[in-house]
Amino acid sequence: PQDWAGKHLLVTAGGTQEDLDPVRYLSNRSSGKMGYALANAASQRGAQVTLLSANVNLPIPTGVKVIPVRTAADLKDQLQQLFPTMDGLLMAAAVSDFRPVQVAEHKLKKTAAGEEMTLRFQQNPDLLKLVAAHKRPDQVVVGFAAETHDWRQNALHKLAAKQADYIVLNDVSNPAIGFNSDDNQVTIFGADGFQEQTPIETKAAIADHILTVINPKDR
Ligand code: PMT
């Protein structure tokens, strides 16, 4: 179906990186597969899609405009600039919750043998929460939750705390359906009380399912 024709969707994918020094960074295991599957499915269904891609090494889906980002700060700048012009946001990127308090100007040197090293971190802003706070009623905001335990409780907490319309819960404790896998199984929670768990299926099929659930025309 071309049920997203005429709509402009912003999708985020991949994992942000936070620099420790000129040669090292801290990141996470997101491959970008889920976000790219969403961008591809939305484009196939007629949407104009802009994809903010954080450190992903995958082919660009046909018809999708990709803007590369590296850090959470880059992602924040792009989100704040682009979100007001969009009909919806699908926030599949894994954003670093913390960044080092200081980025060393020069490469950090080895300390004496056996000596411990301590790094200090400060919190990054919650980007989803920042943009969702300025959401218009005509915009749909979909967050993702990557959880290893207390799945349902954590997802419902994120749905409320981030003021998203939907949270898509991912169980990243199971390698068959987590980071970098081709398959996934999610539970979609809506702010209106909607709840649905998908079967285990490809990320492409999950993406299609999410796009159907969040489209008011399809429900
Ligand atoms: O990329 P793949 O290998 O295919 O794996 C898919 C996935 C597991 C990465 C993806 O489906 C997923 O779950 N993405 C969300 C990862 C995440 O950061 O989850 P979270 O529970 O830490 O964050 C919740 C939501 O807040 C997310 O939408 C996240 O983008 C957003 N967030 C988080 C922290 C932060 N500082 N700012 C944010 O906006």
Residue closest via CA to ligand 1's atom 17 equals 94
Which residues make Cβ contacts (< 8 Å) with residue 193, sequence separation at least 6? none
**How far, in Å, CA of 52 to CA of 210, rounded?**
19
**How far, in Å, CA of 219 to CA of 212, rounded?**
7
For the Cβ of 31 lying below 6 angstroms from any atom of ligand 1, the answer is yes
What are the catalytic residues?
28
From residue 185, how far is each of 66, 87, 152, 188, 191 by CA, in Å?
26, 26, 14, 10, 20
Residue 151: exposure state from Cβ atoms within 10 A (0-12, 13-18, ≥19): middle
For the Cβ of 94 lying below 6 angstroms from any atom of ligand 1, the answer is yes
In 37-179 the beta strands, taken as DSSP E runs, fall at: 48-54, 65-69, 88-91, 98-100, 121-123, 140-147, 166-171
Residue closest via CA to ligand 1's atom 35 equals 126
**How far, in Å, CA of 218 to CA of 68, rounded?**
31
pLDDT tens, residue order, the chain (219 aa): 899 999 999 999 999 999 999 999 999 999 999 999 999 999 999 999 999 999 999 999 999 999 999 999 999 999 999 999 999 999 999 999 999 999 999 999 988 888 998 999 999 999 999 999 999 999 999 999 999 999 999 999 999 999 999 999 999 999 899 899 999 999 999 999 999 999 999 999 999 999 999 997 765
Domains delineated in the chain: 8-97+120-218 (3.40.50.10300)
The atom of ligand 1 lying closest to the CA of 180 is 3
Q: How far is the CA of 1 from the centre of ligand 1 (A)?
A: 28
Residue closest via CA to ligand 1's atom 18 equals 94
